Amino acid sequence: MVLCFLCIRLKDGFAEGKDLVVTAMASMGEDQICALKDIRVHLFRFLSGISDFLFVDEKIPEKIQKAAANSNSNNLTLDEVREALIRQEDTIVFRLIQRANFPVNSPTYDEKFASFSGSLLQFVVKETEALQSKVGRYENPEEQPFSPENLPPSLVPPQADPPVLHPAAASININEKIWDFYFNQLLPLFAVPGDDGNYASTASSDLDCLQAISRRIHYGYYVAEVKFKDAPQDYEPAIRAQDREGLMKLLTFEAVEEMVKKRVEKKAAVFGQDVCLVDNGNGKYKVDPSVVSRLYGEWIMPLTKLVQVEYLLRRLD
Ligand SMILES: O=C(O)C(=O)C[C@]1(C(=O)O)C=C[C@@H](O)C=C1
């Protein structure tokens, strides 16, 4: 009942064109969040189906959690984890396309833009993550916050499934690096210069991109765990020697990386083409497919590997 009410208010809020934070806050007062404590069935997952503005839209981790829980994790295969990475490509490409609907909109990032301290972007990130934390987003290991200071605790009961990952995963958050490359290198490659005044939408769209990219990169925990379980005899000596380079070599598959870059380039071309009734062969894309390939080749895959190395270095602790 409470959930239905919440969904309707969320939908109405967006239909009225309210901005993300206002809608979320208006929809979920503290009382409602507390009332939701009694609903024990994966509230977070349920809500994710309602609004991908607010919550994650990937359900793969749950499948992976189950596969691993059903046995001593031999069920969890590298193919399954790679399948999850492939599905996340779609989310990333679509979110970039969404962000490309707006120009750069630099006032979004201006620290003196409004009466709150910091930029509009920082405000949206902090407030959105606080709400999402209350409904359990950060109970999922691959979800790492960009504004981790003073996050409120989850009000949702923890999932009963036995954990798949080594607890060290929780201490690995490389979002500062993601934030840095996204704003300083990637954004200027696909957002056109200009200002259309849509600052709140721009900020929430940036956060959507950041969260999808961050989830994909921190998914490296699962990739590393599967690789370790598949061949502990290969990984243990390098872990004991704390040999970063050795680990990096062991977990790198260049042929797979080439395939990934080609596939995401193709996805960006297919998902982001201008559709006309008459094919005029203009070949105009909403986001340049070569930028998406670069995103993966220069940042996403190297950082996913960094997460894997960091995880493996702590895997025997
Ligand atoms: O598929 C793997 O084996 C991964 O480790 C994932 C990944 C990637 O980020 O896509 C990273 C490193 C490999 O070299 C290939 C691909």
The full DSSP string for 33-45 is HHHGGG--S-HHH
Q: What is the pLDDT of residue 182?
A: 98
Tokens of 89: 């490509």
pLDDT average, residue stretch 30-46: 34
* pLDDT confidence bin for 187, thresholds 50/70/90: very high
Give dist(CA 301, CA 309) in Å, integer: 12
Total count of domains within the chain = 1
Give the residues surrounding ligand 1 with Cβ less than 6 Å away: 82, 85, 223, 251-253, 256-257, 260, 301, 304-305
- Tell which wins on pLDDT, 2 or 160: 160
Give dist(CA 154, CA 141) in Å, integer: 13
Chain centroid to CA 270? 22
Report yes or no for ipTM above 0.90.
yes
Does the pLDDT at position 39 exceed 60? no
Mean pLDDT of the chain: 83
Q: What is the pLDDT of residue 162?
A: 80
Q: What is the pLDDT of residue 276?
A: 80
Does the pLDDT at position 65 exceed 90? no
Give dist(CA 149, CA 100) in Å, integer: 30
Q: What is the pLDDT of residue 161?
A: 76
Give 254 Cα–ligand 1 centroid separation in angstroms: 8
Q: What is the pLDDT of residue 10?
A: 41
Ligand 1, atom 8, lies closest to the CA of: 301
**Token pair 């997952």 is at which residue?**
45
Does the pLDDT at position 63 exceed 80? no
CATH number reported for the structural domain that contains residue 112 in this entry: 1.10.590.10
Residue 64 CB-half CA count within 13 A: 25
Does the pLDDT at position 108 exceed 90? yes
pLDDT average, residue stretch 203-228: 98
Pocket test for ligand 1, best of 214, 221, 260 (most atoms within 8 A of CB): 260
Give 297 Cα–ligand 1 centroid separation in angstroms: 11
Atom of ligand 1 nearest to the CA of 308: 5
The domain containing residue 182 runs over which residues? 2-313
Does the pLDDT at position 253 exceed 90? yes
Ligand 1, atom 9, lies closest to the CA of: 301
pLDDT average, residue stretch 235-258: 98
Tokens of 74: 């031999």
Does the pLDDT at position 274 exceed 70? yes
Integer Rg of the chain from CA? 20
Atom of ligand 1 nearest to the CA of 301: 9
Does the pLDDT at position 26 exceed 90? no
Atom of ligand 1 nearest to the CA of 216: 9
Atom of ligand 1 nearest to the CA of 227: 3
